Structure 1
Amino acid sequence: MLDDRKKKVLQAIVEEYINTAEPVSSNALISKYDLNCSSATIRNEMSDLEKKGLLDKMHTSSGRVPSAKGYRYYVDELLKDDNISLEEVKYISNKLETKVHEIEDLTKITANTISEITHYTTVTIGPKADEQIIQEIKFVLLGTRM
């Protein structure tokens, strides 16, 4: 679907946006990523990625942000696999061997397992996620330890 340069540009935009939560400009990509091309070439690639629905432009003068389709492509095609230990594989297998009768229960078990291993907050969205809109996120302090 994408040539190598477009893949590199999309990967850089997604990773930069994840790190900064700001629209990503061609100049930001040139200064932080080894893309071996001019700012004008990056802008052309960004325009092509936008036409393919992989990027969105918030304002006419702003940089680009990944679309839902762009994130999906990143996860499916560009995200590098990190090896996990045998101990983690056994732990995950043990957790997922639990008998469940509802997809919601499996989703909860999976999210909790990922959160335990990565020490990150995990959010899950069910089928038809591209039709879902998150309306509110609440953070509740459970203790004084941060």
Structure 2
Amino acid sequence: MRRSWAALALVGLSVALVGCSDPDPEPESSAPLSSQDIVGEWVAPGSDPAVSLELASDGTVTGSDGCNQLNGTWELDEDDIDFSNLAATMMACEGVDTWLSGADSATLAGDELTVIGENDAVIGTLERS
């Protein structure tokens, strides 16, 4: 009987300790982005015609919005990727959503690049190729 009470006391103590743990622990701080995290080819999954960006280590960006060719520059600003001088050819392609040509910046989470346009609106996502 004494062992039963001792076991019950240990279970009660364990439950009490678990109940005292922090239910929302602070997330571990992640390392800041580096250009190595960003450099490479990024594509819109399932896009036809293909939508893609190639971010080069020299700070240039090239790609296609599915209709027009894009080029410009990019730079890392803390955890954001800022696009500058992004220019696109002006071909008219019926039925093609040329959303990528409106890119102002992007954020990176894992292997997903979230593309942001004017007024900080999310306009699409690209995945690492």
Give TM-score scaled by structure 1 length. Answer: 0.21
Which is greater in Rg?
2
The structure with the greater share of residues assigned to helix is: 1
The structure with the greater share of residues assigned to strand is: 2
Give TM-score scaled by structure 2 length. Answer: 0.23
